[in-house]
Amino acid sequence: MKIMPYSLGALLLTLLVLPAPTPAVADPTPAAGRHRHDAAEISAFLASFYGHHGPSAFDRDHRVSQQLKDKQAHSPYSDVLLCIQHEPQEIAIGTVTVAQAAGVGWATVTTHWGSNSTDTFTAYVRLDSRPIKVDDVICAG
């Protein structure tokens, strides 16, 4: 018995008869219906989170992403939320930038020290985080 390979026409006919695969749905909420944080919300959140001298113990436990908590666990001798080891005299939040396509917003945070010394870092927030949380911090140097 000789086995003949399927012809292209038979293959196309088979594909037309088979039901189309149903896509997996990760989130049943349509993208247009999901709230995404805007620059004003992120600015207010960061100002509240950092306050004048740094985040509180509650904020560190409840308003920080797991990724950032893990980063802190691997850096026991520095504060990854402030990029320092000590409490600053004052903290200022810069203008928030929102990148809708990337799903993230960020702002430069400036810490003020004695003798007019300052340092900066960038704090990132995911636009779709619920509740809003600091997702990452990148130190300036």
User: What pTM, to 2 d.p., does this model score?
Assistant: 0.74
DSSP string, 82-115: TTBSS--SEEEEEEEEEETTTTEEEEEEEEEETT
pLDDT in tens, 21-63: 444 444 444 455 578 999 999 999 999 999 999 999 999 999 9
pLDDT in tens, 121-135: 999 999 999 999 999
Q: Where are the beta strands (DSSP E) in 1-141?
A: 90-99, 104-113, 117-126, 136-139
Euclidean distance between CA atoms 118 and 131, whole angstroms: 30
| Domains, in order of start, for the chain | 36-139 (3.10.450.50)
Q: So what's the pLDDT on residue 67?
A: 95
